[in-house]
Amino acid sequence: MNEILIKPHHFIDIIKLYGSGIEKFVPDEKMGHDFYKVVNEMISNPTVCLKLTIYGDDICKPCQKYQNKCIDDLTHIHGYTSKETYNMTLDKRIIDIYHLKDETYTAVQLCSIIFENKENIFKVWIEEENNVTEKRYALFMKGANKFLNK
């Protein structure tokens, strides 16, 4: 992959899962998305270029629930019934809160920007229970430290 098209919340999720101890990601045969492919590329090549988007990215596009937008339902976040709407809200927040520009970043650059302002994770996932966001924060910290110090 020359450049990965990625939603900012997917990037944070990748670093969080990397922090949980997963080293090699495997295909999700049920949904068919390319999360594993993007993650494995990023982990093996931390200088890969990432182009941010709030729309479908290289992870979403092959998914069974993606038909030019995410058609997956959402039931666990109060005020949202569509994963597409919620994810766009998260991604817009991340771009605004972290002052990200419409440009490409290497995976290391993007991780560094988020890590330097890590407490902002609590301003992004405001709809979630605080204990869920605290776990996300702790795993992101662990993953970012591991990723940035490879």
Residues 59-95 have pLDDT tens digits of: 999 889 889 998 889 988 888 999 999 999 999 999 9
Q: How far apart are CA 51 and CA 102, in angstroms?
A: 8
Q: How far apart are CA 136 and CA 94, in angstroms?
A: 14
Residues 40-58 have pLDDT tens digits of: 999 999 999 999 999 999 9
Residues 83-129 have pLDDT tens digits of: 999 999 999 999 999 999 878 999 999 999 999 999 999 999 999 99
73, with CB counted inside 10 A (0-12, 13-18, 19+), is: exposed
Q: How far apart are CA 100 and CA 8, in angstroms?
A: 10
Domain locations along the chain: 3-148
Per-residue pLDDT for 1 more than 70? no
Global pTM?
0.94
